[in-house]
């Protein structure tokens, strides 16, 4: 073991309601009631936050990510109140991201969210193709998606993300490329580009749609990657592309095995204690009504568990190897509290096999390693007795 260093700290805020749950979504999201319980939920968040700040022990927060659900369904004033509570605990220039969907009701609120303290948006476009949006169960059309991006510019957001998916039901490589080209044309400084996967406990899992085969999906990804690179965006994580200065700092901290507090129904957190060399993960109560009841009574946490030393290498690598910049042996030691020798031989073998590269003191996945990341990570599974 070696001395663990205290990593940067983020905060995830979960607002669990959306207009309608999409058939591919496995997040903790729920169709919104006719009247959102804004005040009751805010009271629960405040009580939850107070306990989380105690957990932080005076550490400042470098980034906030407000996700869901559709957080932009909440009034900007409500989001502003949360950010006001946080203000004394934020680092100067903290990144504050709000997820938003391109419904026309929400677009008019972008300027108000910015005034409330949000300085980054993540807009869930998914596609600009009407047939693909319908297949995904989205409630917006392509024109609303375009207007949402334009509204982000008009509201003064200098950085924001456009979220896209590919390998959608009935999608061709040309159509996937058109989605990416449209996001670039609209001036998105950050584009998240995810392959649709079918997850358990979703409608698509029970009633799977016909998706492009593996070779077609790979062709889509390659064509889109080439276009994004040619337009001056740089991939910094497996599914994230950004112009210089526009990478999501909150997600970078996550992938670099940093710490993050969590408030809201079903939110997950991770906190390290450098003094004791321990890492703790935890999850809040998932059901919104139960969360609101328990959080106000100091019982928002549903479960918590220590991260055993034997599992730290795999957990670290599952995150860090998604980053284009990879990691250094020093970062591994600082974040896990373990000596780099714990993974050195496995890394060396993966380098020899062409899955990783060791250049300038940084360990990174190769193109082949990216394509076979799950197989690569299996090499670092903890030994079982």
Return the CATH number at 332.
1.10.10.10
* Number of residues in the chain: 385
Q: Are residues 236 and 333 in the same domain?
A: no
Q: Are residues 88 and 232 in the same domain?
A: yes
Q: Which domain holds residue 153?
A: 9-253
Domain count, the chain: 2
Place of tokens 């990216």: 370
Question: Does residue 50 fall inside a structural domain?
Answer: yes
Question: Does residue 270 fall inside a structural domain?
Answer: no
Question: Does residue 369 fall inside a structural domain?
Answer: yes
Last residue of a domain, one of 210, 236, 253: 253
Q: Are residues 53 and 147 in the same domain?
A: yes
Give the sheet arrangement for strand 301-306, strand by strand. Answer: 234-237, 240-242, 190-195, 160-166, 120-126, 90-100, 61-68, 9-15, 259-264, 268-273, 278-284, 301-306
Contacts of 226 (CB under 8 A, 6+ apart): none
pTM as predicted: 0.96
Question: Does residue 226 fall inside a structural domain?
Answer: yes
Report d(CA 129, CA 138) in Å as an integer: 11
Q: Are residues 249 and 315 in the same domain?
A: no
Residuewise pLDDT in 10s, the chain (385 residues): 889 999 999 999 999 999 889 999 989 999 999 899 999 999 999 999 999 999 999 999 999 999 999 999 999 999 999 999 999 999 999 999 999 999 755 667 899 999 999 999 999 999 999 999 999 999 999 999 999 999 999 999 999 999 999 999 999 999 999 999 999 999 999 999 999 999 999 999 999 999 999 999 999 999 999 999 999 999 999 999 999 999 999 999 999 999 999 999 999 999 999 999 999 999 999 999 999 999 999 999 999 999 999 999 999 999 999 999 999 999 999 999 999 999 999 999 999 999 999 998 999 999 899 888 999 999 999 875 4
């Amino acid at each position: 073991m070696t001395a663990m260093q205290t990593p940067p700290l983020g905060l995830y805020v979960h607002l669990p309601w959306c207009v309608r749950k999409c058939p591919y979504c496995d997040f903790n999201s729920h169709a919104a009631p006719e009247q959102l319980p804004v005040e009751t939920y805010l009271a629960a968040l405040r009580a939850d936050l107070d306990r989380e700040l105690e957990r932080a022990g005076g550490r400042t927060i470098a980034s906030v990510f407000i996700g869901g659900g559709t957080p932009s369904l909440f009034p900007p004033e409500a989001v502003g109140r949360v950010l006001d509570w946080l203000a004394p605990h934020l680092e100067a220039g903290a990144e504050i991201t709000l997820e938003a969907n391109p419904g026309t009701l929400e677009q008019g609120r972008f300027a108000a969210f910015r005034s409330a303290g949000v300085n980054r948006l993540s807009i869930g476009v998914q596609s600009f193709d009407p047939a693909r949006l319908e297949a995904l169960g989205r409630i917006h059309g392509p024109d609303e998606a375009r207007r949402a991006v334009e509204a982000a510019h008009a509201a003064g957001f200098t950085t924001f993300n456009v979220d896209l998916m590919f390998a959608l039901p009935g999608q061709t490589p040309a159509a996937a490329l058109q989605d990416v080209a449209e996001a670039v044309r609209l001036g998105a400084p950050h584009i998240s580009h995810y392959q649709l996967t079918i997850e358990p406990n979703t409608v698509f899992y029970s009633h799977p749609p016909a998706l492009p085969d593996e070779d077609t999906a790979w062709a889509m990804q390659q064509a889109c990657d080439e276009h994004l690179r040619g337009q001056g965006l740089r991939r910094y994580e497996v599914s994230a592309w950004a112009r210089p200065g526009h990478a999501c700092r909150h997600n970078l901290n996550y992938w670099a095995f940093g710490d993050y507090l969590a408030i809201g129904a079903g939110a997950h957190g991770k906190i390290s204690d450098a003094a004791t060399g321990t890492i703790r993960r935890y999850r809040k109560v998932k059901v919104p009504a139960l969360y609101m009841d328990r959080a106000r009574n100091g019982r928002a946490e549903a479960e918590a568990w220590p991260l055993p030393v034997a599992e730290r290498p795999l957990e670290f690598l599952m995150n860090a190897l998604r980053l284009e910049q990879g990691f250094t042996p020093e970062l591994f030691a600082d974040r896990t509290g373990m000596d780099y020798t714990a993974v050195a031989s496995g890394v060396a073998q993966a380098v020899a096999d062409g899955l990783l590269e060791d250049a300038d003191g940084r360990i990174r996945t190769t193109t082949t390693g990216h394509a076979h990341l799950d197989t690569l990570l299996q090499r670092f599974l903890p030994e079982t007795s």
